[in-house]
Every structure is written in structure tokens, then in C-alpha cells.
Amino acid sequence: MAAGLGTRMRSGTPKHLHPLLGKRVLDWTLDTVRELGADRAVVVVAPGGEDVGEGVEAAVQREPRGTGDAVASAGRALEGFEGDVLVLDGAAPLLTADLLRGLLDEHERTSAAVTVLTIEPARRLPYGRIVRDDSGALLAIVEERDATPEQRAIRELNSSIYVFDAAALWPALAGLEPRNAQGELYLTQSIERIVAAGKPAAAWISPDSRSPEGINTRADLAECAAILRDRINERHLLAGVTIADPRTTWIDDGVELEPDTVVHPFTVLRGSTRIAAGAEIGPHAVAIDAEVGPGALVGPFCYLRPGTVLAAGAKAGTFVELKNTSVGEGAKVPHLSYMGDAEIGAGTNIGAANVTANFDHRPGQPKKRTKIGRNVRTAVDNTFVAPVEIGDDAWIAAGAVITEDVPPGSLAGFAPRQVTKEGYVYDRHGKRDD
């Protein structure tokens, strides 16, 4: 279910579409469903939210009439389906396939028409209360705002995750009425209808009370992000990656790290970034959709933007920014430089404070590329005005602005010699008394 607007998020973006470690919140749930091996995946969305991803069906809930109506909207897509229907919150990114397998196993063991996943959290949550009879059998689920003081004291809560026998689900939804404080059609009311029809209902307490919880606020989103960060980091640690401080290291789910990579504190790796074996990155480094080759070094406060490729043994040093740039094998951009839309050949050394001026001020023009060959030596304070090409083995003099191609083996640059105007400051502003 992903039709809710998530008003408590205080956002123009529906809560299930907020970004979370490289994916949308909804994608975390969908990936868990895929891992589980579900036959079909149907996402209930509000009008205009049909773009839910490949291999997923969208069912539109035309009006926000409650969770019962949302599931009924999916019924149109599942017409004729026989079997079990797993109902999930689309904003529950912490769910795991193992947890859902446990729920499905309990559903099969009890031969129930419906099985509810419940939680017993240590903290107070505004979730529905699980009402059982004296024998422990499930009778009903009462939403908090509709509950009596005695019912609010119940510690077992509804996680909003269910398994229904399809043959029992659709008739139970057909007769729902808005008899509650919110005037909505509650999915939980279908539990009472199933029980009233004499069919068995079961409730299985989750061994992990946190994973089934959904996101309702930005505070929830931040808490889930921290938990997922720890899960991702642990996965890499167990696979042979060194993460010096997992608490300050944020790695998107789609990032690939080979064994013997070293990640220093306060490093952020996002998107489809790939780090090869023996590479070292950070501290305080950011890489987005970048590729770092074997044994490469990414220094402190370095920013690798999309399209950056560091070959084996290459270096991007302190306060370096690279964008859509390839750095050849063993080449170095050691410090305080920006290289954008550039190709840097193997063995080249880029001096401090070098910049590629790649922007074309004419409207609609693409950025221009700079090509720097193999074994080139640039000096400090060089600017390369693209498009320009520097041949292999060339040297660039300090302070030079390069606007023309430099042939291989050449020395280029030589800004005007220093001119000193003695007394200029004193003549214009007077001598300051000490």
C-alpha cells in the first residue's frame, strides 16, 4: 500500500517516494518482496503515482477512503487470483525476507484465513491494539483513536502487515463500513468480519519489533536510514572491506566495494559507485556514480562527481573535485584542483590549483572537454580553457592559462614576468602607522 500522502512528513513528496540510501522508500519494500519470490507485486497508489517501477503493477485508489478501500483497489488487479495475498505497508523499508517467510510459515501452519504480524515494542506507538479472547485467539484489531482506555493498555500492536487467503479477503472487504473516528474503511475491520464468518484468524508476534515499523515522519525516516546504514556497512565488513568508523560512513545500497578496500571516517558513497580492491578513500570524501580502480587513493575532502573514473593506482588528493573525468593509471591530481570533463593520461601529474574551464557561455552549448596526455607535468595555478589538448610528455609553466593545443614534448605557458610597482599602496592609501 503506497497511496497515502504522508502528511506528517510535512512534504510535497509522498512518504514512500522519499530517497533512502540510494533508493526510494518504496523500493526497499519491493526489493524485499522480490527476494521473497512473490508471484506478483501490486502497488496501490494515488492518482498520478502509477510510475512504480519495472515488473510491478499499479492499482489506483481514486479517493483516500482508508486502508480497506486501498486493498480493495488492488482486488481489481488480482481478480481471479487464488492463494495467499500478502499485504504490506509501502513505507516499511526495514522489512526483511526472512521475517516475512516466518509470517508465511505461521500462516500455513495454522491454516488461518488471515494471519497478522504483530509487534511488542518497548516504546509507545499510535498503532492498533491486538484484541484476543481468553484462549489467545485473535478477535479484532482496534485502532488507537477508537480504543477504550483498557484496550490502549494492550502492548501487542498491529504492524499493518497481513497474509490473507484471497477467498476470505475479498468478501470481507465488500461489506466494510466507515464506523470509526476517521470515517474511513479500515482494513482491520475485515479481521472482525472473517472471525464473525467462523473462519480462523491468527496473529504472529514478530521476533524483531523494529523491522515491521513504517515511516510516518522525517524522524522515522532518519532512524530507518541509520538502521539501514548499519546493515549495509555490516554486509561490506563481513565481505572483507575495512570501514574505519561505520557510524560515520554512509554507503548507498547500490554501491559495490571489493575486498581489501579501505573506507575512512565521514565518507559518503552514493549511487552506482564502484571501489576496486586495494583502493583507499577518505576521510571526509564523497563519491557519486564514480569508479575507483585497484589501489587508487582518494584523499581527504575529495569530491568525485558522476562520470569520474580513477584507473589503477591513480590518486585524487585533498580538496580535489573531479566531474566526468578519467584519470589514467598511476596519474595524480594531488591537491586543490578541479578537473571537469577531462581526460588525464597515465603517469601524468597535475599540479596544485589546476582548473579546467569547461563551461561554454553560449546558451544551449555543451561543456567542452580537456585532454591531457600521458606523463604530462603541469605546474601550480594552471587553467586549461576547453576545448584544448595537451600532448604526451608536455610540461606546463606555473601560472599559465592554456588556450591552445600543446604538442607532445613541449613546454608551454610563461605568463608575463613579474612587474613591481614600488610604493603603489602607500601612494594611493598612505602609510599605515605602526
In 255-387, DSSP assigns E strands to 256-257, 262-263, 268-270, 274-275, 280-281, 286-288, 291-292, 297-298, 303-304, 309-310, 315-318, 321-323, 326-327, 332-335, 338-340, 342-344, 355-357, 370-372, 383-385
Quote the CA–CA distance of 158 and 236 in Å, as a whole number.
33
Quote the CA–CA distance of 34 and 28 in Å, as a whole number.
10
Q: How many helices (H) and strands (E) does the chain have?
A: 8, 35
Quote the CA–CA distance of 149 and 92 in Å, as a whole number.
28
* Residues 6+ positions from 399 with CB-CB distance below 8 Å: 379, 380, 381, 382, 413, 415
Quote the CA–CA distance of 326 and 401 in Å, as a whole number.
21
Residues noted as catalytic: 335
Strands, sheet with 256-257, edge to edge from the N-terminal-most edge strand? 256-257, 274-275, 291-292, 309-310, 326-327, 342-344, 370-372, 388-390
Can you read off the three cell numbers belonging to residue 85?
Answer: 495475498
Quote the CA–CA distance of 308 and 76 in Å, as a whole number.
47
Quote the CA–CA distance of 349 and 305 in Å, as a whole number.
20
The answer to whether the Cα torsion of 417, 422, 426, 429 is positive or negative is negative
